[in-house]
Amino acid sequence: MTVRLAQIVEALGGELVGDPRTPVSRLASLASAGPEALSFAVSARYEAALRASAAGVLLVPPALREAAAPQAALIVDPHPYLYYARLTQWWRERERASQPMPTVHPSAVVDPSATLGPGVSIGPFAVIEAGASIGEGAVVGAHTVVERSAEVGPRTRLAPRVVLGAGCRMGARGVVHSGVVIGADGFGFAPLEGTWVKIEQLGAVRIGDDVEIGANCTIDRGALDDTVIEDGVKLDNLIHIAHNVHIGAYTAMAGCAAVAGSARIGRGCTIGGDAKILGHLTLADGVHISACSVVTRSITQPGTYSGFFPIDSHAEWEKNAASLRSLHKLRERVRALEIELKNKT
Amino acid sequence: MTVRLAQIVEALGGELVGDPRTPVSRLASLASAGPEALSFAVSARYEAALRASAAGVLLVPPALREAAAPQAALIVDPHPYLYYARLTQWWRERERASQPMPTVHPSAVVDPSATLGPGVSIGPFAVIEAGASIGEGAVVGAHTVVERSAEVGPRTRLAPRVVLGAGCRMGARGVVHSGVVIGADGFGFAPLEGTWVKIEQLGAVRIGDDVEIGANCTIDRGALDDTVIEDGVKLDNLIHIAHNVHIGAYTAMAGCAAVAGSARIGRGCTIGGDAKILGHLTLADGVHISACSVVTRSITQPGTYSGFFPIDSHAEWEKNAASLRSLHKLRERVRALEIELKNKT
Amino acid sequence: MTVRLAQIVEALGGELVGDPRTPVSRLASLASAGPEALSFAVSARYEAALRASAAGVLLVPPALREAAAPQAALIVDPHPYLYYARLTQWWRERERASQPMPTVHPSAVVDPSATLGPGVSIGPFAVIEAGASIGEGAVVGAHTVVERSAEVGPRTRLAPRVVLGAGCRMGARGVVHSGVVIGADGFGFAPLEGTWVKIEQLGAVRIGDDVEIGANCTIDRGALDDTVIEDGVKLDNLIHIAHNVHIGAYTAMAGCAAVAGSARIGRGCTIGGDAKILGHLTLADGVHISACSVVTRSITQPGTYSGFFPIDSHAEWEKNAASLRSLHKLRERVRALEIELKNKT
């Protein structure tokens, strides 16, 4: 796909400096861009990399205009990172427009009682069960299963090999990547004389609009009430959301994070990769958890919270870990020294 | 689905207080229940929530009978949590009974040498390979693959999109959720001059009866002998069980836990979410590992074991983590102070 | 399958001691082997287990020849572990040779513009999209999706239920286990007034030759440039590789490890299970990270690095964790004691 620089600026704005007919056939990083590519720098910090770049078009903030102008055609915009995000969307949309028209693949199994909106695309071997509904312009990938009475909102894209469980709801304009399982049973058992009696999970999963869910995530259905994910939440890969969790709007979680049952996370939080939230806790709006930290108590104040063991050479770590195992005794020894010294005075 | 209160008590026992014809059309938590719903309270701790509930039917222990009687029809039972578990099962069974009769979907690929018991249900696009056997009343979901000579026990339910590898065995009355991979190769390589020579994994996976396996778990086949999961084990989502692991009966593991190769876990253990058991270790029966703890040595005594960094504000954590990196030196300084003070005395 | 001992030695070398016609019908561990089985011991450490074994054939190093000879036929080789690895490969190859000839299953959906090499095997319900290419002798499992313009190298095996995303490339002689998702979107968003603007991920994933990827791993496509995995890399199960990561040749990572965006890992590294590498870091060649450690800074020197909380009884851990939360204050108290004592002298 090749476009002219002028087409980009016409669609997305910004100031064009140089030849509007400059062709752009891909977007690239400063280091890998050639004359056929558009690249970008968000701040003066990237000036050296920018000067070394062979990009044919550069997207820069006003502060880099002078540095960049001699070597390439420019788009000058006060928010180049945001401009870049929108440019990637525009680019992807154009690529998609060149692909075949949406259609229901003849191999898909669609129950006659399912509702398909106009312009939906249903991939090979997809299964749409009884009473399910697929909103206008939604995409259901190959091998994806939309179970009984589940709902997919307008323009949402389910990648190949997703399961949306019975009665679960995915909102509009969402993206669900491959391998995601929405609506498996929450982990609930009543103990009985050393064995476990299953508690059937009768709730569902309700997911808002503009939500993205990364590959191989699992979001369990609620025990009685629903598991809820509000609008604009973004989940990276391999995240586990247990039953009856509630995640507030626009919260983002990085890869391998997990939230145990009935925890409630506020709006606008960020949860670092591999961070874990234990069950039944509440996190306020605007809480930021560092990667690999374990949240064991509710957090009522916004702010950044951390807790993981610092890495070191194995030999140093081993000595410190050994000392750590008797830390409370060390504390007592210091207390004893303080008292002894005080008594001497 | 709507039932009468009397039907529930007839099926599951307990004492009925109030109108036996009271209709119940769903089970719900105290907070979300309306007059059409049955809810429950397990102990006096929930008395306030119980009084605020609009539930039409309440399941309570004898101690809450008086508090509950004025506001709803009752089921009184000494073990309300266990009663609730069984009620969810009864409810789900009735829902299932209203669904279409079990059948082999015409799109499924079933090898002529495979054995299907009576009353099995095989979903769209399922693949049952040569020599596999599916027990009486078992359910194989859409897109699930049962490879050569694998066995599925009677009344076991494989959700959509499960892989049961060649020669692997899943027992009776089990539940396997979507995305589970049973019988992928264990991670085994012999080092050779900076490269890795694959050790083909020739064992299988043997899983007992009444086992539940959560979404996107992976259970690898053994190198030579089998990986073994005994009866009644319950695994939450995204759990990794490496080759040649042995998990004792009725042990339960929460989400994102992992067990490295050849580890042996006893009966009746609980492994918290994200806890990790390193390879070749042995855990006794009745060992409980806290969430997010790393087990680096065998544990011979029952009890609860923990090990994770406590969370704190980022600023506090940073100071403590910095001190931790020289903890063994701090210990030496305390020792030096002790000696010096002793010498002065 | 049963072979004669002489066939093994003819194919793989080593010295045969005893009856060359001894039948071998399976490979087994010392403890579980019967007279029909071949087992092995890599060093004198296993002499007691070897003496207790009922194996009909034993693979041993020269140092164990005398101990082993009285009880079984032998293969004597200076590198028995490597021999064993190759024997498992030979064994598996013979098993495969007895299976049906490779073929394209009639239910597979193969785009007419896709290229299939000679001898490829395409399983039931596999989907090969436009412009994709499958190399000579490659295997595409049931339900596996090879998206637009993706490439699978010669003799690579994709298990059932793999997704290889559009434009991504898997090299030759690789193994990809079930549930793997290669080429889902990297996790990239530009913040805008409390919401997130998606950055479409326009790069791909390039994977070298002889790479193995465990069940349910996820490897995201790059934002602009590609995510790169070099030759001979081995990944265990449930590993997350974020966008624009670069992993050097022959590096091995154990289960549940994760690498955040744009990190660069050297050649010949080993990353322990559940270890996490934060974003934008660089690890030198030959770095070894212990299981469950969190790498928060670049590592420029080869060596072994660790960082996780030591496990203990819950009661001990609790006391130490409490002390840890005021460790920097303890350090200050020791400093104060040191000064006070010095002043007294």
In a domain, C21, yes or no: yes
Domain ranges, residue C188: 109-305
B243 is catalytic: yes
- Say how many residues make up chain A: 345
Do residue C190 and residue C120 come from a single domain? yes
**pLDDT given for residue C345 in this prediction:** 65
**pLDDT given for residue B345 in this prediction:** 65
Q: Please state, as a whole number, how many other Cβ atoms lie within 10 Å of the Cβ of residue B46.
A: 18
* DSSP structure string for C103-171: -B-TT-EE-TT-EE-TT-EE-TT-EE-TT-EE-TT-EE-TT-EE-TT-EE-TT-EE-SS-EE-TT-EE-
Q: How far apart are CA C320 and CA A340, in angstroms?
A: 23
Residue from A243, A280, A288, A328 carrying the catalytic annotation: A243
Domain final residue, candidates B97, B127, B146? B97
In a domain, B36, yes or no: yes
Average pLDDT over residues C231-247: 98
Average pLDDT over residues A260-276: 98
Do residue B161 and residue B298 come from a single domain? yes
Provide, as residue numbers in chain A, all residues whose Cβ is less than 8 Å from the Cβ of C341: 341
Region at B87 (left for phi over 0; alpha for psi -120 to 50; beta for the rest):
alpha
Provide, as residue numbers in chain B, all residues whose Cβ is less than 8 Å from the Cβ of A189: 85, 234, 252
Buried/exposed code over C239-273 (b: 16+ C-beta within 10 A; e: otherwise) = bbbbbbbbbbbbbbbbbbbbbbbbbbbbbbbbbbb
Q: What is the pTM of this model?
A: 0.96
Average pLDDT over residues B251-273: 98
Average pLDDT over residues B126-135: 98
Average pLDDT over residues B179-200: 97
Contact B274 A297 (CB under 8 A): no
In a domain, A102, yes or no: no
**pLDDT given for residue C29 in this prediction:** 95
Do residue B259 and residue B332 come from a single domain? no
Contact B27 A307 (CB under 8 A): no
Which site among C276, C296, C330 would you substitute to test the A interface, given the most A Cβ atoms closer than 10 Å to its Cβ?
A: C276
User: What pLDDT, in 10s, does the model give residues B133-159?
Assistant: 999 999 999 999 999 999 999 999 999
Q: Which ipTM score applies to this complex?
A: 0.95
Q: Which of B201, B276, B310 sits opposite C325 (nearest CB)?
A: B310
Q: How far apart are CA C62 and CA C76, in angstroms?
A: 6
The CATH number covering residue A66 comes to: 3.40.1390.10
Do residue A320 and residue A298 come from a single domain? no
The CATH number covering residue A293 comes to: 2.160.10.10
Q: Give yes or no for A19 touching C (CB within 8 A).
A: no
Q: Give yes or no for C127 touching A (CB within 8 A).
A: yes
**pLDDT given for residue A100 in this prediction:** 76
Do residue A123 and residue A88 come from a single domain? no
Do residue C290 and residue C155 come from a single domain? yes
3-class secondary-structure state, position B80:
helix
Do residue C191 and residue C55 come from a single domain? no
Q: How many CB pairs under 8 A join A and B?
A: 219
Angle of the B327-344 helix axis to the A327-344 helix axis, nearest 10: 30
Do residue C153 and residue C273 come from a single domain? yes
User: What pLDDT, in 10s, does the model give residues C53-80?
Assistant: 999 999 999 999 999 999 999 999 999 9
Q: Which of residues 21-60 of B touch A (CB under 8 A)?
A: 26-29, 31-32, 39
User: What pLDDT, in 10s, does the model give residues A304-315?
Assistant: 999 999 999 999
Do residue A123 and residue A266 come from a single domain? yes
Which residue stretches of chain B are H helix? Answer: 5-12, 47-52, 65-68, 80-97, 314-324, 327-344
User: What pLDDT, in 10s, does the model give residues B305-328?
Assistant: 999 999 999 999 999 999 999 999
pLDDT at A99 over 80: no
Q: How far apart are CA B4 and CA B25, in angstroms?
A: 9
Cα nearest neighbour of B297 on chain C: C311
Do residue B151 and residue B264 come from a single domain? yes
User: What pLDDT, in 10s, does the model give residues B61-111?
Assistant: 999 999 999 999 999 999 999 999 999 999 999 988 877 778 999 999 999
In a domain, C102, yes or no: no
pLDDT band at A68 (very low <50, low <70, confident <90, very high): very high
Q: What does each C-alpha distance from A241 to A44, A183, B267, C182 come to in angstroms?
A: 40, 10, 27, 22
What percent of chain B has a predicted confidence (pLDDT) above 90? Answer: 95
3-class secondary-structure state, position B288:
strand
**pLDDT given for residue B313 in this prediction:** 96
The letter for the amino acid at B132 is A
Do residue B141 and residue B76 come from a single domain? no
Contact A317 C305 (CB under 8 A): yes
Domain final residue, candidates C97, C119, C149? C97
In a domain, B167, yes or no: yes
Contact B320 C321 (CB under 8 A): no
Q: Give yes or no for C212 touching B (CB within 8 A).
A: yes
Tell me which H or E stretch contains C330.
helix C327-344
Give a three-class secondary structure readout of chain A.
Answer: CCEEHHHHHHHHCCEEECCCCCEECEECCCCCCCCCEEEECCCHHHHHHHHCCCCCEEEECHHHHHHHCCCCEEEECCCHHHHHHHHHHHHHHHHHHCCCCCCECCCCEECCCCEECCCCEECCCCEECCCCEECCCCEECCCCEECCCCEECCCCEECCCCEECCCCEECCCCEECCCCEECCCCCCEEEECCEEEECCCCCCEEECCCCEECCCCEECCCCCCCEEECCCCEECCCCEECCCCEECCCCEECCCCEECCCCEECCCCEECCCCEECCCCEECCCEEECCCCEECCCECCCEEEECCCCCEEHHHHHHHHHHHCCHHHHHHHHHHHHHHHHHHC
Average pLDDT over residues A16-28: 97
Q: How many domains does chain B have?
A: 3
**pLDDT given for residue A290 in this prediction:** 98
3-class secondary-structure state, position B95:
helix
Q: Give yes or no for C304 touching A (CB within 8 A).
A: yes
Instruction: Report which DSSP code applies to B104.
Output: B
Contact C177 B185 (CB under 8 A): yes
Average pLDDT, chain A: 96
In a domain, C104, yes or no: no
pLDDT band at C100 (very low <50, low <70, confident <90, very high): confident
In a domain, B104, yes or no: no
Q: How far apart are CA A107 and CA B125, in angstroms?
A: 10
User: What pLDDT, in 10s, does the model give residues A206-230?
Assistant: 999 999 999 999 999 999 999 999 9
The two structure tokens encoding residue C147: 């998206």
Cα nearest neighbour of A186 on chain B: B236
Q: Half-sphere exposure (CA, 13 Å, Cβ side) for B275?
A: 27
In a domain, C190, yes or no: yes
Average pLDDT, chain B: 96
What percent of chain C has a predicted confidence (pLDDT) above 90? Answer: 95
pLDDT band at A341 (very low <50, low <70, confident <90, very high): confident
Which site among B225, B276, B330, B337 would you substitute to test the C interface, given the most C Cβ atoms closer than 10 Å to its Cβ?
A: B276
**pLDDT given for residue A345 in this prediction:** 65
The two structure tokens encoding residue C314: 């819950």
Do residue C179 and residue C231 come from a single domain? yes
Q: How far apart are CA C272 and CA C79, in angstroms?
A: 25
Average pLDDT over residues A311-331: 94
Q: Compute the nearest-CA separation of A207 from chain B (Å).
A: 18
